[in-house]
Chains A and B, each alone.
Chain A
Amino acid sequence: MKSLKIIHKIGLIVFTIGFFTFLSLFFLGQYQLDKNDLREVIGEETFPLVDEFASDIYDNKYNNQFAFISDFKSVLEQSNQEVKAKFEIKSDLAKEIANSIEGKAFQQSAIEKAIGEPSGEEEEWQLKQLKDYTGWMEGKEYESSEELTSQLENVIADVNKSIISQKGFSQNNINNKAFTITKQSEVGPVVQNPWLWLFLAIGIPIIGAIMYLLPKLKTEHAGIKNDGIFHSALKNRGWIGILLGTFLISFYVFLYWYPEYMTSWIVMVDPLSKMISGNPASQWFMYGFLYTLAILVMGVRMMIKYRHSPYQLIRTVSVMFFQLSFAFVIPEILVRLNQPYMDLKNMWPLDYTFFFDYRLNEMIEAGTIGLFMLGWGIALFAIGVPLFTYLYGKRWYCSWVCGCGGLAETLGDPYRQLSDKSLGAWKIERWLVHSVLVFVVVMTAGVLYTFFTGSSELLGINTYNIRAAYGFGIGAMFSGVIGTGFYPFMGNRVWCRFGCPLAAYLGLVQRFKSRFRITTNGGQCISCGNCSTYCEMGIDVRWYAQRGQNIIRSSCVGCGVCSSVCPRGVLNLENRDENGRFNQPSLIGNDSFGVQS
Chain B
Amino acid sequence: MRNIVIIGNGISGVTAARHIRKHSEDNITIISAETEHFFSRTALMYIYMGHMKYESTKPYEDFFWKKNRIDLVYDYVEQIDFKNKNLQLKQSENMEYDVLVIAVGSKSNMFGWPGQDLEAVQGLYSYQDLESMEKYSPTTQNAVIVGGGLIGMEMGEMFHTRNIDVTFVVRENSFWNNVIPPEESEIINRHIRKHGFNLMLETEISEIIDDGNGRAKGVKLKDGGEMDAQFVGLTVGVSPNIDFLKDSELETNKGIKVNEYFETNQTDVYAIGDCAEFQEAPAEDRKPIEQVWYTGRMHGETLAQTICGNKTAYQPGVWFNSAKFLDIEYQTYGQVGNQPDEDTEVHFYWEHKKGEKSIRLIFHKEDKTLKGVNLMGVRYRHEVCDKMIRDNWPMKKVFQNLKKANFDPEFFKKHEDELVGMYNERYPNDVVKLSRKKILGVF
A interface residue numbers (CB < 8 A to B) = 221-224, 226-232, 308-311, 313-314, 391-392, 421-423, 519, 521-524, 526-530, 532-533, 542-543, 546, 560, 563-565, 567-569, 572-575, 587-593, 595, 597
Contact = CB atoms under 8 A, between A and B. Distances in A.
B51 A230 contact: yes
Interface in B63-120: 63
Interface string B405-417: 0011111110000
A221 B324 contact: no
Contact of B43 (A313, A529, A560): A529
Contacts of B305: 592-593
B317 A575 contact: no
Given A528-B42, A592-B312, A221 B326 contact: yes
Interface in B302-357: 302, 305, 310, 312-318, 320, 322-324, 326-327, 329, 331
A533 to B, nearest CB: 5
Contact of B313 (A311, A568, A592): A592
A20 to B, nearest CB: 27
B298 A542 contact: no
Given A228-B161, A311-B412, A563-B409, A592 B381 contact: no
B320 A589 contact: yes
B202 to A, nearest CB: 26
14 contacts: A223-B326, A224-B327, A227-B51, A232-B50, A423-B63, A522-B320, A522-B381, A523-B320, A529-B57, A563-B409, A572-B407, A575-B441, A590-B301, A591-B316
Interface in B270-321: 293-294, 297-298, 301-302, 305, 310, 312-318, 320
Contacts of A526: 40, 42-43, 293-294, 322
Contact of A568 (B61, B315, B324, B327): B324
B195 A221 contact: yes
Contacts of B331: 524, 568-569
B324 A592 contact: no
A592 B329 contact: no
A231 B326 CA distance: 20
Contact of B382 (A226, A521, A529, A595): A521
Contacts of B11: 527
B61 A423 contact: yes
B298 A592 contact: yes
Contacts of A528: 40, 42-43, 46, 52, 57
B51 A530 contact: yes
A228 B49 CA distance: 6
B382 A527 contact: no
Contacts of B42: 526-528
A590 B316 contact: yes
Nearest to A586: B383
A590 B411 contact: no
B426 interface: no
Contacts of B407: 519, 521, 569, 572
B442 interface: yes
Given A528-B46, A588-B383, A593-B312, A569 B322 contact: yes
Nearest to A423: B61
A592 B301 contact: yes
Given A311-B412, A521-B381, A524-B382, A592 B52 contact: no
Candidate in A229, A391, A567, A573 with the most chain B CB atoms within 10 angstroms: A567
A540 to B, nearest CB: 8
A35 B383 CA distance: 79
Query: Is chain A's binding surface mostly helix, strand, loop or mixed?
Result: loop
B194 interface: yes
Given A391-B442, A589-B320, A590-B302, A523 B329 contact: no
Nearest to A230: B50
Given A565-B51, A568-B331, A572-B409, 11 more contacts: A223-B327, A224-B327, A228-B49, A523-B297, A568-B329, A569-B380, A572-B407, A589-B317, A589-B320, A590-B315, A593-B310
B214 interface: no
A529 B52 contact: yes
B190 interface: no
A557 to B, nearest CB: 15
B327 A227 contact: no
Contacts of A422: 61
Contacts of A572: 379, 407-409
A526 B10 CA distance: 12
B246 interface: no
A232 B161 CA distance: 13
Candidate in B302, B318, B381, B409 with the most chain A CB atoms within 10 angstroms: B409
A310 B326 contact: no
B184 interface: no
B50 A228 contact: yes
A392 to B, nearest CB: 8
A226 B327 CA distance: 12
A527 B44 CA distance: 11
A586 to B, nearest CB: 9
A231 B50 contact: yes
B419 to A, nearest CB: 18
Candidate in A313, A314, A565, A572 with the most chain B CB atoms within 10 angstroms: A572
Candidate in A223, A423, A574, A588 with the most chain B CB atoms within 10 angstroms: A588
Nearest to B63: A423
Candidate in A222, A524, A572, A574 with the most chain B CB atoms within 10 angstroms: A524
B56 interface: yes
A74 to B, nearest CB: 52
Give 9 nearest A-B pairs by CB, closest first: A522-B382, A223-B327, A569-B379, A528-B43, A310-B411, A590-B298, A591-B317, A228-B50, A227-B161
B327 A221 contact: yes
Contacts of A592: 298, 301-302, 305, 312-316
B161 A595 contact: no
Candidate in A227, A308, A391, A532 with the most chain B CB atoms within 10 angstroms: A227
Candidate in A228, A529, A533, A563 with the most chain B CB atoms within 10 angstroms: A529
Interface string B19-62: 00000000000000000000010110010011111001111010
A568 B52 contact: no
Interface in B144-172: 161
B382 A310 contact: no
Nearest to B157: A227
Contacts of A527: 11, 40, 42-43, 59
A141 B62 CA distance: 74
Contacts of A593: 302, 305, 310, 312
Contacts of A308: 327
Nearest to A595: B301
B263 interface: no
Contacts of B194: 221
Contacts of A563: 409
Contacts of A229: 50-51
Nearest to B283: A591
B409 A309 contact: yes
Nearest to B300: A590
A388 to B, nearest CB: 11
Contacts of B52: 230, 528-530, 533
Nearest to A221: B327
A518 to B, nearest CB: 11
Interface in B356-412: 379-383, 386, 407-412
A137 B18 CA distance: 79
Contact of A524 (B301, B322, B409): B322
Nearest to A558: B410
Nearest to B318: A589
A575 B412 CA distance: 15
Contacts of A224: 327
Contacts of B40: 526-529
A548 B318 CA distance: 17
B359 to A, nearest CB: 13
Contacts of A591: 315-317
Contacts of A575: 441
Contact of A533 (B51, B63, B316, B329): B51
